[in-house]
A and B are shown apart, each in its own frame.
Chain A
Amino acid sequence: EAGVTQSPTHLIKTRGQQATLRCSPISGHTSVYWYQQALGLGLQFLLWYDEGEERNRGNFPPRFSGRQFPNYSSELNVNALELEDSALYLCASSAPSGGSTDTQYFGPGTRLTVL
């Protein structure tokens, strides 16, 4: 069974540009989560999508946005890039379980570097 996949592996952008990161969940999983792993800040929750809807977002500015497609894959968009957006962006997915016992499985991440 294929795991969570993310593309691209690495992304280099300059300040002010926009970045688009993509995630494909494990087959059968309907929820997708995005996390930021920045140096010194640990893993922080960004966004949660389920059945095409944004269900929850973390403490990040609105220039971090995304969407989930009908096939449950997801895109994370970061507008007006700032130097501090440089981080590893992790995507996770979970199966529909009513929420009480779901487990998140992580992809390899996209390393975003903002110059």
Chain B
Amino acid sequence: AQSVSQHNHHVILSEAASLELGCNYSYGGTVNLFWYVQYPGQHLQLLLKYFSGDPLVKGIKGFEAEFIKSKFSFNLRKPSVQWSDTAEYFCAVKRRELTGGGNKLTFGTGTQLKVEL
């Protein structure tokens, strides 16, 4: 069974610090990759996604992620975080089979980011 690992469970940063959140998955086939964010009191929102092509994808609010196939990784980055980035971040993976067993997202356990002023 595939799994998704987010190694940082809690991260505390000061405003303007750089952010990198790790995400690794175990499935060896073709995958679609996602980062979702859950701000306090809000629902899960899509931050960015990767399907194919340029492995460096840009999302909303200055976030970007890089897909490194050889490392089965899809790390999330932001050069300078803001207090408003305080949230829980989830990495998710979907296998790209078109029939049977596909379409479900497998999520990592999430990383709680706190940005201090």
Q: List residues of A whose CB falls within 8 A of some B CB.
A: 31, 33, 35, 42-45, 48, 50, 55-56, 58, 90, 92, 94, 98-109
B71 within 8 A of A: no
Asked if A105 and B46 make an inter-chain contact with CB atoms under 8 angstroms apart, the answer reads: yes
Enumerate chain B residues within 8 angstroms of A35, measured Cβ to Cβ.
Answer: 105, 107
Enumerate chain A residues within 8 angstroms of B102, measured Cβ to Cβ.
Answer: 56, 99
- Complex Cα spacing A42 to B101, Å: 20
- B interface, by DSSP: helix, strand, loop or mixed? loop
User: Which 9 A-B residue pairs are closest in the complex by CB-CB distance?
Assistant: A43-B107, A106-B44, A45-B104, A108-B43, A42-B109, A99-B98, A101-B51, A48-B103, A100-B96
Give the interface residue-count category, chain B: 20 to 34
Q: Whose C-beta in chain B lies nearest to the C-beta of A103?
A: B49
Q: List 19 A-B contacts (CB under 8 A).
A: A33-B103, A33-B104, A33-B105, A35-B107, A42-B108, A42-B110, A43-B105, A43-B107, A45-B104, A50-B103, A56-B104, A94-B103, A99-B96, A99-B103, A102-B103, A103-B34, A103-B46, A104-B105, A107-B43
Question: A92-B105, A101-B51 given. 9 additional CB < 8 A pairs?
Answer: A31-B103, A33-B103, A33-B105, A43-B105, A56-B103, A90-B43, A98-B98, A101-B32, A103-B34
- Complex Cα spacing A98 to B97, Å: 10
